[in-house]
Amino acid sequence: MLIGRFAGAGALALTMMSTAVLAQDATDWNGFYAGIYGGYGLDMDGSSISTVGPATLDLGGGDVLTGSLATETGRINGIHGGVVGGYNYQRDRLVLGLEAGFGLGAFGKTNSTVAALSMTDGVNTATIDYTDTTSFNIDWLTTLQGRMGFTQDNWLFYLKGGVVMANGSVSSNSRLTLADPGGLLGLPGIDLPSSSTANQLLIGPAFGFGAEAMVTEAVSISAEYSFIGLPALEAPAGGLGLGLGGLFGGGGGSHDAAMHQVKAGINYHF
């Protein structure tokens, strides 16, 4: 009987110790945190290069017309980084939170157009050349997103969603030239440069998913995917260059600023 009592007491003590160890080992995600991240961004547009010509048209009487057109569109394709801060509330395995972030990176692309037209009578030649380069850039972006996740051991698996706000800038430079040194067309020479710049505040949705692991009592590492749903960034209106660039499909116009992001981060939990 005495042995049985001691055995029962020992079993109860072991059970209490095991429960205490499990409670002590359980990861606590409650509270504020702050961290840094780095990653890679890629926009929704695809880059492309298109060329036409040079094509030649015989006008008769010795006059020959030659023309060519080349357009190129780039895409956001580069690294980025930033800082985040937020707060988690945990109830059992469910974790709810709010997170704000600020980022900078290689969020730029360039579109260009080059067009050339020439006419010759075999002796004299007249040329018309047009070039246009339009650069788009997301100077910075900030996000405010809610998070919802579930814990497993020292891991937190989560979804997130909210709003993103960014500053977009556009600059365009173009030049139209006409040279007729022999008087073939009877027109004066022209050298017409054009430039313009603009800044726009862009607002759109942001959402994603990720996983975070607590590696010490206060430090966690994370990996996540985010979709940044910024609207199109428009080239500024006005100017001969912008009009011709949009007509030819190269410089000018607009580009979709929405992008995919993958990133890794490290957070400190207070």
Better-predicted residue by pLDDT, 9 or 50 = 50
Range with lowest mean pLDDT among 20-34, 65-79, 117-131, 234-248 = 234-248
Better-predicted residue by pLDDT, 131 or 16 = 131
Planar angle of CA 217, 220, 221, nearest 5 degrees: 155
Counting residues of the chain whose pLDDT is more than 70, the rounded percentage is: 83
Instruction: Report the distance separating Cα 180 and Cα 201, nearest Å.
Output: 45
- Reduced to 3 states, what is the DSSP secondary structure of residue 236? coil
Judge whether 136 lies within some domain: yes
Q: Which residues of 191-226 are buried (b: 16+ CB within 10 A; e: fewer)?
A: eeebebeeeeebebebbbebebebeeeeebebebeb
User: Is pLDDT above 70 for 9?
Assistant: no
Instruction: Report the distance separating Cα 137 and Cα 166, nearest Å.
Output: 10
| Digit-coded pLDDT (tens) for 88-141 | 999 999 999 999 999 998 888 888 889 999 888 878 888 999 998 888 888 899
In Å, how far are 52, 197, 235, 253, 268 from 85, measured between CA atoms?
A: 51, 34, 34, 37, 9
| Digit-coded pLDDT (tens) for 178-205 | 988 888 777 888 888 988 888 889 999 9
pTM passes above 0.85: no
Residue count of the chain? 270
pLDDT of residue 145: 97
Better-predicted residue by pLDDT, 245 or 66 = 66
The boundaries of the domain holding residue 250 are: 28-269
Instruction: Report the distance separating Cα 158 and Cα 97, nearest Å.
Output: 10
Judge whether 17 lies within some domain: no
pLDDT of residue 123: 82
Instruction: Report the distance separating Cα 252 and Cα 241, nearest Å.
Output: 8
pLDDT of residue 237: 52
| Digit-coded pLDDT (tens) for 20-58 | 333 345 689 999 999 999 999 988 777 788 888 788 888
Range with lowest mean pLDDT among 7-11, 27-31, 94-98, 218-222 = 7-11
Judge whether 23 lies within some domain: no
Query: Which helix (H) or strand (E) covers residue 16, if one does?
Result: helix 2-25
Instruction: Report the distance separating Cα 202 and Cα 140, nearest Å.
Output: 10
Judge whether 215 lies within some domain: yes
pLDDT of residue 3: 38
Instruction: Report the distance separating Cα 128 and Cα 81, nearest Å.
Output: 45
Judge whether 109 lies within some domain: yes
- Reduced to 3 states, what is the DSSP secondary structure of residue 189? coil
pLDDT of residue 185: 79
Judge whether 155 lies within some domain: yes
Domain tally, the chain: 1
- Reduced to 3 states, what is the DSSP secondary structure of residue 248? helix
Q: Facing residues of 65 across strands? A: 57, 119
Judge whether 1 lies within some domain: no
Counting residues of the chain whose pLDDT is more than 90, the rounded percentage is: 45
The CATH number for 147's domain is 2.40.160.20
- Cα 105 to chain centroid, rounded: 8
Q: What's the rounded mean pLDDT across residues 216-223?
A: 94
Better-predicted residue by pLDDT, 63 or 35 = 35
Judge whether 6 lies within some domain: no
